[in-house]
Amino acid sequence: MELKLENVTKRYGNTVALDGLSVTFHEGIYGILGANGAGKSTMMNLISDNIKRDGGSVTYNGKDIIALGDKFRAVLGYMPQQQGIYERMTAESFVSYIGRLKGLKGRELREQTAQVLKLTNLEGVRHKAVGQFSGGMKQRALLAQALLGDPKVLILDEPTAGLDPRERIRIREFIKELSADRIVLLATHIVSDIESISDYVLMLKKGRLIGIDTPSALISSLPESWTPVSGRPSLEDVYLCFIGDR
């Protein structure tokens, strides 16, 4: 399984959001680090074909994702950064509606709906309108819909934002379990999440990929003169050193 971005460029007027980005993903978790406006969400929106690219190609197993169309979207699970949600639907309705849009039906749909609601700890509030949910609960509902249909490519934009530590660790571990046979792209500002579960880390700065490696390799690449912010070197130091302009 291979998801490949080659020379991908995206501009918004004069602003270059992605500048000739080339990267290949295989099974595993890819943490994406970058400051606000670095191009993380743009990259994810390009992979989910929600915005038009200005150049380059995005292929899945060798075929362009636009040419694949529905076939690619059938293996895609996408959790967007914005908490856009059908506020008047209940959690169960929301997830089952998305399930319909993923092509699930009948018993399979009902079973998967129940399963993802349980996984995201929303089972007890499944008959409550999502508009009445807290930010963290909405986040879990969005994660639940992304997990439906056993997606092979999972794009998670800030999946643990707004969750309490216990919930965050639970979801993090769950994502880790999922990564065995699928590509997981995880964008978050919570660096510790990436450090603890990512197989690889992509570092984006001003639309450019400035590095990709395992978390430990990135940490060990810190200059010797660097003073860690919390006693021992971590991915936070990598972020601050290479992205944070410190």
Partner 1 sequence: MSEWKRVFSDTRRLILALTVTALCAVLFLSSLLYRIEPGAFGDMIAAQKAARTIYSQCENKNCGEIIALCDEITAKISAYCSYINGGITYADENGTFDDVEAYISETFPRLISLSDDAYAVNRFGGVLLTAVNEIRAEAEHIDGYGDYLSSIEKQAQVMSGVGIFQGSVEHDGFTSANIKKTADDYAAMRDVEVIFGSGAAVEHWISYSYADYFFLVMIVLIVLAFLEDRKGGLWHVIRSCKNGRTSLGITRLEILICGSLISTFLIYCVPLMLSCAVSGGIGDIQRPIQSLVSFRSCTAAVSVLGWLLRYFFLKVLSGVFIGLLFWCVLGTLSSPQFSLAVLGAVLVSEYALYEFIPAGNALDIFKYLNVFSYIRISDLYTDYVNINMFGKALGVRGVMLSVMICAVLGLAVFAVLIQARRRPEGHRSILSGIDAMLNRFLDIIRIRLSLGGWEMYKSLVYGGGIIIAAAVVILGGSLDFRGIVPVNGGDYVYNALVIDREGVIDDSFDEYVERIRESDAGAELANVAERLERDADAVRERATAGGYEPWLVYETNYRIYFGDYAASVQRLNGTAAILFTVFLCVSGITYEYQSGTVYMVRSLKRGRGALLTRKLLAAALFAVIAWASVYLREISDFIAYCQPKTFSAPVQNLGALSQFPLRITIGQYILLLNALRLVMLTSVSFISLFIGSFTKNVLGAYLLGTAALVLPAVLTVLGLDVMKYFSLVLPVSAAELLWGMGGGSVIYALPWAVAAALGIAAVILTRKRWVGEEKRLRPHTTVTTKTDHWKNL
Residues 74, 100, 155: CA angle, nearest 5 degrees = 40
Nearer to partner 1 by Cβ, of 149 and 172: the residue is: 149
Q: Does 20 bind partner 1 (CB under 8 A)?
A: yes
Q: Does 221 bind partner 1 (CB under 8 A)?
A: yes
Using CB under 8 A, which residues numbered 108 to 127 contact partner 1?
109-110, 113, 126-127
Q: Which of 212, 211, 203 is nearest to 40 (CA)?
A: 203
Q: Does 208 bind partner 1 (CB under 8 A)?
A: yes
The β-bridge partners of 213 are: 201
One residue of 101, 118, 214, 216 binding partner 1 per CB under 8 A: 101
Residue 96: CB minimum distance to partner 1, A: 4
Q: Is residue 72 within 8 Å of 2, Cβ to Cβ?
A: no
Using CB under 8 A, which residues numbered 28 to 67 contact partner 1?
45, 48-50, 52-57, 64, 66-67
Nearer to partner 1 by Cβ, of 105 and 246: the residue is: 105
Nearer to partner 1 by Cβ, of 112 and 188: the residue is: 112
Nearer to partner 1 by Cβ, of 127 and 166: the residue is: 127
Using CB under 8 A, which residues numbered 160 to 199 contact partner 1?
none
Q: Does 83 bind partner 1 (CB under 8 A)?
A: yes
Q: Is residue 94 within 8 Å of 141, Cβ to Cβ?
A: yes
Count residues near partner 1 (CB under 8 A): 68
Residue 150: CB minimum distance to partner 1, A: 12
Residue 15: CB minimum distance to partner 1, A: 15
Instruction: Give the span between the Cα atoms of 144 and 224, in whole angstroms.
Output: 43
Q: Does 92 bind partner 1 (CB under 8 A)?
A: yes
Q: How far is CA 62 from CA 2, 5, 129, 170, 214, in A?
A: 8, 11, 42, 34, 25
Instruction: Give the span between the Cα atoms of 23 and 183, in whole angstroms.
Output: 13
Q: Does 225 bind partner 1 (CB under 8 A)?
A: no
Binding stretches for partner 1 (CB under 8 A): 7, 9, 19-23, 45, 48-50, 52-57, 64, 66-67, 69-70, 73-74, 76, 78-80, 82-90, 92-93, 96-98, 100-103, 105, 109-110, 113, 126-129, 131-132, 142, 145, 149, 155, 203, 208-212, 221, 242
